[in-house]
Chains A and B, each alone.
Chain A
Amino acid sequence: MSETRVSENTVSVRDLTVSYRTVSKHTGQRMVPAVRELSLDVAAGESYGLVGESGSGKSTAAMALTRYLPAGTEVTAAELSIAGTSVLGLDAAALRAFRASTLAVVYQEPGQALNPTMPVGEQVAEVYRLHGDNRAAARDATLAAIDRVRLADARAIARRYPHELSGGQQQRIVIAMALASEPRLLILDEPTTGLDSRVETEIMALIDGLRAELGFASILISHNLPLVAAHCQRIGVLQGGVLVEEGAAADVLLAPRHSYTRALIAALPDINAARRSPARVIAAADGAPAGLAAADEVNPAVNAAEGASPGRRSGPTAANGGAGGVGAIGIRSGSSEDQPLVTVANLTKRHHRKTALSDVSFTIGRGEVLGLVGESGSGKSTLGLTLAGLTGYEGTISFAPWTGEGSAGAGRSRRRGGQALPRVQVVFQNADASLNPRRTVRRVLARSIELLGGTQTVEELAARTGVATDLLDKLPQQLSGGQKQRVAIARAFAGHVPLVICDEPTSALDVSSQARLLDLLTELQERTGVSYLFISHDLAVVRQVADRIAVLYNGELVELKPADQVFERPEHPYTQSLVDSALALRRPTDGK
């Protein structure tokens, strides 16, 4: 905030307040401020990061700069100027010209930003045409623009339709389109959310490079603090529409002053820490390379303190994989208690001619959390579906007999009306679609308890999973993302199911919801002794919960070892790149 020479700044905002009109039965019409007295400056060529959770007003603040807000919104500011233009004073025609020339916005979902019925080249060319180029000039400029966003073979890409491109490629096209008007300011609204971490790194590097090359200023809006810290010179933290902290990236991340910023940072999955639970003990692989911990590392005292049956925890969690963990697996002979819960051997899955999974073999021990990472398209979700019995496959998947919590005598009937109880439950990424929109939470949970043979009441289940009682009679659309995901988790824990597959359960949530949900999952796992297959593209998240981590690359299991070792000595080049990009995102840079 030391910048005072207003004319030098690309963005200069003083006391910006944005209010939405809301209509409520009790209070009638009133204006609710989403952003309050926000002041910020962004110098030419500077990268500024705006961080906050959903609903903190960060998108509203950025959209106010473009004066593009829904009808009924009130924007007031002592000063709101971008590249010397006072935005609030513009009439419709001038506003249009201003938006077309001075700034550009890149949104979260590139798929929605592109017209699905037009080849992407034409869409980029449209921008040049609007700026007065003729057809031939626009075509040449388009190819140059596609080149500039580092897409190989611009000619071929230009002819493709959006659905023929990957998420990362789509976002590159959107960036090319945004930069076509040579804006002075580029607003990036969660540009990499939903892309996997490697693509995220590439896209952010591309933006950094282009900024250095073209000299535009940028505002990066994100809930991902490490990402913002790594790619912005200065950071502003928004809470409830108020800018609570602002400063150089490294300062904010390493020495946060405001309590909210500290809470945000504390909620981050720590890439350097082991599992969330201190009581957690990881049994190492039988055939682990020399120097690594052996199976007897299990601390009996800790086991006893946990109150779990020691026999269950110690032996069977041992990895059968050994070094690399790929290839044949040796099933340990012994009593059924010693067998791994799930044994997968030579699993292959083909979609038409494409191979989604090839010859995958691994085991999941009782009470073990197996993390599964890989980029989108690597087959990790397919593997989850296969284990859940939702698709056909080649190879074998076998489940050991399971005696769950509260059934120590093993006498509990596994059958209900002649039908075996499900062995697998899945917590999906998108809690929105995983709950029937026309059922109340109570009905969802009641039916789940019935189907999974649970003995608890809906209220007990809700209490165990942190679903507040007053949510029970609400419909899914009335819940927040985190609450919906809790209900989805509660549903999976309604009965005694030995294996719960968590398929990116937190990737749609902001960091503090994510942290609370990971705590809940860890706690439930320890209390019930179920096994998890925890699928994620985010290594940091997986590290927090997993005993062992399996890395899937192009349908092949390229690495399977205890979580620490994946970080300390990744073997496969792909694992290395995953670890590198996970670490890179968390390494704050002091100005580029």
Chain B
Amino acid sequence: MDSLSTELGTVAGTREELVAVAPPAAAGAARRRLRALLRRPTFVVSAVIVLFWVVAALGWHLFGLDPYGNSGQALAAPSWSQPFGTDNLGRSVFARTLAGSDTALAVGPLGALLATVLGSALGVVAGYFRGWVDTALMRLFDVLVVLPPLIFLIVIVAAFGASVPALIVIIGVVFAPGIARIIRAAVLAEMGKKYVTSARLQGESALRIMATELVPNVLPTIIIQATLSLASAILMTATLSFLGLGQQPPSPDWGLAINQNLDYIETAWWTVIFPALAVASLVVAVQLIADNIKETWS
């Protein structure tokens, strides 16, 4: 009985009286959510890390960093003049790590954006129309989702090359099905609510129902999916470079740097550790932002 009342007391306690005395929900729900996010330390730290990499990617030229020049000293350990040491060609690992954010952030965000737009659109269409449209799209996505993404990517990159625009499109196409499935599920839940039925009864067009009734209500899910796919996209591009399918030398790309310096990991650990930490920090930070959004918004 105790467990029963524990479980249900919350329901009863919050049901009527609390609602009656709670301050009315402000119209600025978005502002409230942002404030809730800013109270979370992991979110703030993650946001600072992501911001740091964005600034590095956009501004490394301005800071006088030279990721390509030979400092004259190969495989030097970290010191005051070379904070992250130098690699086998005498290049500054510090400069190369900061500059490497450039390529990491070129493909990831745009790829994730494309995947989100494509996936959300298909998910909303499949969830709204049901029937054969839904079946056809979902079976297609089933096929795409069961393919191991990395092997699939390698094949496509081998076929279409690894230019930045090609990578963006490929990432977008590879991640879209997963997003579409989740958005479809969210749309199905909304479709069960009567406001959609009411809109249909009033003769609202399908396009407007999708755009003005459904999308605003699944927007939190869309944003969470966008952030999650951003983390995966960054990791995926780094992986491709690591495998030699992305950026080519002398690019300071992180994945490429890890691959090239793997031979020196025992003698000059700094050549591998710093780019690896860079990838990890960015991916984990983005992932944590997604987690925080998920926890505060739903």
Contacts and interface: CB of A to CB of B under 8 A. Distances in A.
A478 B28 CA distance: 12
A397 interface: no
B8 interface: yes
A343 interface: no
A133 to B, nearest CB: 14
Interface stretch (B50-58, B138-146, B189-197, B233-241): B189-197
Contact of B5 (A68, A73, A434, A437): A68
Contacts of A178: 1, 4
Interface in B81-103: none
Contacts of B11: 107, 109, 112
Interface in A429-477: 430, 433-438, 447-448, 451-452, 473-475, 477
Interface in A46-85: 54-55, 57, 59-60, 63, 66, 68-70, 73
Interface stretch (B12-20, B153-161, B173-181, B272-280): B12-20
A487 to B, nearest CB: 11
Given A99-B5, A183-B1, A428-B198, A59 B16 contact: yes
A70 B22 contact: no
Interface string B13-35: 11111111111110101000000
Interface stretch (A19-27, A144-152, A160-168, A551-559): A19-27
Interface stretch (B41-49, B126-134, B200-208): B200-208
Interface string A18-43: 00101111000000101000000000
A426 interface: yes
B197 A390 contact: yes
Interface in A405-437: 419-422, 424-426, 428, 430, 433-437
Contacts of A428: 194, 197-198
B71 interface: no
Contacts of B25: 475, 477-478
Interface in B190-227: 193-195, 197-204, 213, 216-217
A66 B9 contact: yes
Contacts of B12: 59, 63, 105, 107, 189
A295 interface: no
B13 A63 contact: yes
A70 B16 contact: no
Nearest to A73: B13
A559 B55 CA distance: 75
Nearest to B192: A433
Contact of B198 (A68, A112, A477, A491): A491
A475 B216 CA distance: 14
Interface in A275-295: none
A112 B5 CA distance: 12
Contacts of A112: 8, 11
Contacts of A422: 201-203
Contacts of A183: 1
A450 to B, nearest CB: 9
Interface in A96-120: 96, 99-100, 103-105, 107, 109, 112-113
A473 B2 CA distance: 44
Contact of B13 (A22, A69, A109, A430): A69
A267 interface: no
Given A69-B13, A96-B2, A475-B25, A20 B204 contact: no
A113 B11 CA distance: 10
Contacts of B201: 388, 390, 422, 424-426
B4 A113 contact: yes
Contacts of B202: 422, 425, 447-448, 451-452, 491, 494
Contacts of B16: 54-55, 59
B6 interface: yes
A252 interface: no
B1 A113 contact: no
B12 to A, nearest CB: 5
A192 to B, nearest CB: 16
B10 interface: yes
Interface of A is mostly: mixed
Contact of A433 (B10, B194, B204): B194
Q: Which of A66, A100, A433, A491 has the most CB of B within 10 A?
A: A433
Contacts, number: 137
A447 B212 CA distance: 11
Contacts of B193: 433-434
B9 A180 contact: no
Interface residues of A, number: 66
A22 B21 contact: yes
A225 interface: no
Contacts of B200: 390
B27 A475 contact: yes
A96 B5 CA distance: 11
A105 B4 contact: yes
Contacts of A451: 202-204
A112 B27 CA distance: 31
A60 B17 contact: yes
A55 B19 CA distance: 8
A91 to B, nearest CB: 15
Contact of A55 (B1, B3, B4, B17): B17
B191 to A, nearest CB: 11
Given A24-B23, A59-B16, A448-B202, A433 B8 contact: no
A476 to B, nearest CB: 9
Contacts of B197: 390, 426, 428, 434
Contacts of B21: 20, 22, 32, 34
A479 B13 CA distance: 20
A181 interface: yes
A436 B195 contact: yes
Contacts of A388: 201
Nearest to B202: A451
B22 to A, nearest CB: 7
A155 B14 CA distance: 36
Contacts of B3: 126
A128 B92 CA distance: 71
B13 A70 contact: yes
Contacts of B199: 436
B195 A22 contact: no
A478 B5 contact: no
A554 to B, nearest CB: 25
Contacts of A23: 23
Nearest to A429: B194
A434 B194 contact: yes
Contacts of B5: 66, 68, 99, 104-105
A415 B3 CA distance: 59
A127 interface: yes
Given A68-B5, A99-B5, A127-B1, 9 more contacts: A32-B21, A55-B17, A55-B20, A60-B17, A63-B12, A104-B5, A434-B198, A438-B217, A452-B202
Interface of B: 1-25, 27, 29, 193-195, 197-204, 213, 216-217
Interface of A: 20, 22-25, 32, 34, 54-55, 57, 59-60, 63, 66, 68-70, 73, 96, 99-100, 103-105, 107, 109, 112-113, 126-127, 130, 177-178, 180-181, 183, 189, 388, 390, 419-422, 424-426, 428, 430, 433-438, 447-448, 451-452, 473-475, 477-478, 488, 491, 494
28 contacts: A24-B23, A32-B21, A34-B17, A34-B21, A54-B20, A55-B19, A55-B20, A57-B17, A59-B17, A60-B17, A63-B12, A63-B13, A68-B6, A69-B9, A70-B13, A96-B2, A105-B5, A105-B8, A105-B12, A113-B7, A177-B4, A183-B1, A388-B201, A390-B201, A420-B203, A437-B195, A438-B217, A473-B27
List the 10 closest A-B pairs by CB distance, nearest first.
Answer: A434-B194, A68-B9, A433-B193, A55-B20, A451-B202, A428-B194, A438-B216, A70-B13, A436-B195, A34-B17
